[in-house]
């Protein structure tokens, strides 16, 4: 217990990179460049500097720590922290270092005295000590504004913001903010001060250039002609709840749990009426009555809550039927890795109403971009991406889907399936609703069942 408590205290003191970043200022502010500082190396590049560590390095025939650090720095590239000074809304002047690490080749854009646009964190608290040595880099951090997404970065340095040490260096500089739309910030819109994921504002591998180069795509896909559009809301409900688990969990199971306390109360009533003793029921017997009524109240409350959830699900099914877009499904050239060595496929969805030429161009542009991204930064492949966010309004009607309900490993995927994609209710929610359309005998059986239900409802 002492060891566990000690570890918890150490983690709380040092912080963790799993926490969201502090709340970000709504608007960028101008800042003046004041100084440059060599960016420290990531922790994993440092070697032992204690006597025991140097002895172990000597036994393993490794270079000394200082020489190894210089060698690693020469392998990576020049990386610099740019110190700036800005004014907050309250008029307070703050000196901070850009969390965006700037490569040496980009330093002429940040000459001392030049003005840049930054977005500051509204809570400047840091886990590092205040600057004690003259000339030391500032411990506070700020971010380059959205308008400077074209500036290449060598990595990022968030030391002191969430944890005492949080540094990342990339093998090659790349354009685009590593924070905006990628990391999580606290925001005033969430009443519980929770994590809110922003919208990614920059993408690697130059998707605009890829789209422009594919003005005449090759015919690499075949699309089915018969579109299985849903005939009724009942059919969409069967697609969404193909195993009938939702109806069981939301209706049948709560009703069963309500029947149990009702049966218990009936048994207690029978025992009370049938009691022939002169003393009457004792205190334990009345405690059973109270427990049975509490059980009944809890069960009824759960049933009402589940019925409200079921009502919301039915409303969602109606919305999917009215506004869902039927799309063909194609395999993407990227598999998401699992935690135990397995992988799951990713997909490209195309609106079935698109013309052949537009569908081929969107499909080939997404495949080319995904292939290019896998060699640079795969973090953006964990989220659903409409093609129009990557390539512009001309690419409307395509989606990259990292996950689809109903699919497991790559072996479970059959080419050219269908899905319904429905825009979310909340405009700030980037994740659409994806409904898998069954195929083969399953599709025919569900359609016949939906027709029978519709016929009974019409009577």
- CB-based burial label for 249 (10 Å; 0-12, 13-18, 19+): middle
Q: What's the CA gap between 195 and 198, in Å, rounded? A: 10
Q: Is the pTM of this model over 0.85?
A: no
Query: Do the strands 141-144 and 93-98 form a parallel or antiparallel pair, or are they unpaired?
Result: parallel
Q: What strands, in cross-sheet order, belong to the sheet with 433-436?
A: 385-386, 398-401, 343-351, 325-337, 417-422, 433-436
Indicate whether 433 pLDDT > 60: yes
Query: What mean pLDDT do residues 178-185 have?
Result: 79
Indicate whether 225 pLDDT > 80: no
Q: Which residue has the higher pLDDT, 125 or 49?
A: 125
Q: What's the CA gap between 343 and 346, in Å, rounded? A: 10
Indicate whether 28 pLDDT > 80: yes
What is the DSSP annotation of 113-161? Answer: T-EEEEEEBS----SSPP--STTPPPS-EEEE-GGGTTSEEEEEE-BTT
Indicate whether 427 pLDDT > 70: no
Task: Kindly list the distances between the CA atom of residue 34 and the CA atoms of 31, 87, 93, 160, in Å, as whole numbers in the listed order.
Answer: 9, 14, 13, 20
Residue-level pLDDT at 191: 45
Closest CA to 36 of 120, 102, 89: 102
Query: What mean pLDDT do residues 317-333 have?
Result: 87
Bin 126: left if φ > 0, else alpha if -120 < ψ < 50, else beta.
beta
Residue-level pLDDT at 123: 75
- pLDDT single digits (tens) 383-401: 888 998 888 889 999 999 9
Closest CA to 397 of 443, 360, 447: 360
Residue-level pLDDT at 83: 94
Residue-level pLDDT at 163: 81
Query: Do the strands 79-87 and 29-38 form a parallel or antiparallel pair, or are they unpaired?
Result: antiparallel
Confidence of residue 188 (pLDDT cuts 50, 70, 90): very low
Location of structure tokens 């290019």? 372
Tell me the percentage of the chain whose pLDDT exceeds 90: 17
Q: Which residue has the higher pLDDT, 379 or 416?
A: 379
Residue-level pLDDT at 194: 45
Confidence of residue 166 (pLDDT cuts 50, 70, 90): confident
Confidence of residue 195 (pLDDT cuts 50, 70, 90): very low
Indicate whether 172 pLDDT > 60: yes
Bin 101: left if φ > 0, else alpha if -120 < ψ < 50, else beta.
beta
Residue-level pLDDT at 270: 84
Confidence of residue 443 (pLDDT cuts 50, 70, 90): confident
Indicate whether 455 pLDDT > 90: no
Indicate whether 178 pLDDT > 80: yes
Q: What does the angle CA 84 – CA 89 – CA 94 come to, to the nearest 5 degrees?
A: 30
Q: What's the CA gap between 267 and 270, in Å, rounded? A: 5
Residue-level pLDDT at 50: 62
Q: What's the CA gap between 163 and 69, in Å, rounded? A: 22
What is the DSSP annotation of 432-451? Answer: -EEEEPP-HHHHHHHHHHHH
- pLDDT single digits (tens) 208-218: 888 888 877 66
Residue-level pLDDT at 193: 46
- pLDDT single digits (tens) 285-299: 788 888 999 999 999
Query: Do the strands 100-103 and 79-87 form a parallel or antiparallel pair, or are they unpaired?
Result: antiparallel
Query: Which of 56-60, 80-84, 138-142 is predicted least confidently?
Result: 56-60
Query: Do the strands 115-120 and 167-175 form a parallel or antiparallel pair, or are they unpaired?
Result: unpaired
Indicate whether 42 pLDDT > 90: no
Neighbours of 375 (CB within 10 A): 9
Q: Which residue has the higher pLDDT, 20 or 304?
A: 304
Indicate whether 349 pLDDT > 60: yes
Query: What mean pLDDT do residues 362-375 have?
Result: 88
Q: Would you state the structure tokens that stand for residue 202, as one six-digit string?
A: 């920059």
Q: Which residue has the higher pLDDT, 269 or 71?
A: 269
- pLDDT single digits (tens) 87-142: 988 888 999 999 999 998 889 989 999 999 999 988 767 777 655 566 788 889 99
Confidence of residue 4 (pLDDT cuts 50, 70, 90): confident
* CA Rg value for the chain: 30
Indicate whether 458 pLDDT > 90: no
List, in order, residues 6 or more apart from 336 with CB less than 8 Å away.
343, 344, 345, 346, 381, 382, 402, 403
- pLDDT single digits (tens) 230-285: 888 888 888 877 655 666 777 778 888 889 999 988 888 888 777 656 555 667 77
3-state secondary structure of 199: coil
């Amino acid at each position: 217990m002492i060891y566990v408590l000690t570890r918890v205290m150490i983690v709380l003191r040092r912080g963790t990179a799993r926490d969201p970043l502090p709340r970000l200022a709504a608007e960028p502010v101008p800042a003046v460049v004041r100084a440059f500082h060599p960016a420290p190396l990531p922790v994993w590049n440092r070697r032992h500097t204690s006597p025991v560590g140097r002895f172990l390095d000597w036994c393993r025939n490794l270079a000394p720590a200082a020489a190894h650090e210089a060698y690693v720095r020469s392998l990576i590239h020049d990386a610099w922290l740019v110190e700036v000074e800005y004014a907050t809304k309250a008029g307070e002047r703050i000196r901070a270092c850009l969390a965006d690490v700037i490569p040496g080749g980009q330093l002429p854009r940040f000459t001392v005295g030049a003005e840049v646009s930054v977005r500051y964190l509204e809570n400047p608290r840091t886990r590092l000590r205040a600057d004690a040595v003259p000339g030391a880099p500032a411990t506070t951090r700020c971010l380059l504004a959205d308008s400077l997404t074209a500036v290449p970065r060598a990595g990022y340095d968030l030391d002191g913001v969430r944890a005492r040490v949080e540094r990342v260096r990339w093998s090659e500089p790349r354009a685009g903010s590593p924070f905006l739309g990628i990391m999580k910030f606290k925001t005033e819109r969430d009443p519980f001060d929770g994590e809110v994921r922003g919208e990614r504002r920059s993408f690697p591998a130059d998707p605009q250039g890829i789209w422009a180069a594919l003005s005449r795509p090759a015919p690499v896909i075949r699309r089915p002609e018969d579109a299985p559009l849903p005939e009724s809301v009942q059919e969409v409900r069967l697609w969404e709840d193909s195993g009938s688990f939702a109806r069981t969990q939301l209706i049948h199971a709560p009703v069963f749990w309500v029947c149990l306390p009702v049966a218990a109360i009936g048994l207690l009533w029978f025992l009370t009426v049938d009691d022939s003793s002169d003393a009457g029921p004792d205190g334990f017997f009345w405690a059973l009555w109270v427990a049975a009524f509490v059980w009944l109240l809890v069960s009824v409350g759960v049933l009402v809550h589940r019925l409200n959830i079921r009502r919301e699900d039915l409303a969602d099914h109606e919305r999917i039927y009215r506004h869902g877009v039927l799309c063909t499904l194609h395999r993407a050239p990227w598999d998401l890795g699992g935690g135990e060595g397995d992988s799951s496929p990713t997909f490209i969805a195309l609106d079935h109403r698109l013309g052949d030429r537009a569908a081929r161009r969107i499909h080939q542009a997404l495949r080319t971009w995904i292939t290019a991204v896998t060699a640079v930064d795969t973090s953006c492949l964990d989220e659903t991406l409409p093609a129009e966010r990557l390539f512009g309004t001309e690419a409307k009607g395509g989606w990259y889907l990292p996950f689809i309900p109903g699919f497991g490993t790559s072996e479970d995927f059959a080419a050219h399936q269908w899905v319904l994609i429905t825009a979310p209710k909340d405009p700030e929610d980037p994740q659409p609703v994806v409904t898998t359309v069954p195929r083969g005998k399953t599709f025919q059986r569900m359609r016949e069942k939906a027709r029978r239900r519709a016929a009974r409802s019409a009577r």
